[in-house]
Structure 1
């Protein structure tokens, strides 16, 4: 008589069955543009991450030439239950860059000042976004 062993459940299968973690302030949870690798902005434009942790020289060039720039200031849209990056107006980009530059790639220590990492996104219609992720 043959004895069948019961199937062992793998760790991956257990994790896959867990419900998604939700932040207390939103129903879907905060989906970070860098972590997700893509996002849809408030205008409905889809952006995809193309370069991570940019060299400061490229970040500086994109701060001046990219179609959009965000310094990590996100806003919550209650109607869509989603967080969206806030874009820096063209006229304010130089001042924003001067604020980001000394803290770009700096080591962040809790309780200290903020630091930034630069990322490049492109849209499906060919626009470029430089996204400065803030750590605070």
Structure 2
């Protein structure tokens, strides 16, 4: 992962800890990043070996402030706000996709209409790496 995409999300601190947990029921994982004991990033990833259900991407982010459908650098869809993102990344086949839920918290969240750009930069770097890692796409 590009350090430049993660650095804006991480506050200054003396202790950074990552906890990665592989999913048991189907391909996927969750990851928590904490700085000085405070959670700053949580990501939940699931690979689905079926076609995705229809989604109204203009409404997905409606419960979250400043969230809207945003263009991403990979094949798929995303609703991204300043502190939350829901993503559906297309796999190389029509019968598989990956879903991502990203929660960003702490003093680096910019709760403004343009605050999503920090999270978008991370997502554009992170999602293609994970879809490749889970065999959804090939680089």
Give TM class, smaller chain: under 0.3
Name the structure with the higher helix share.
1
Q: Calculate the TM-score normalised by the size of structure 2.
A: 0.26
Q: TM-score, normalised by structure 1?
A: 0.26
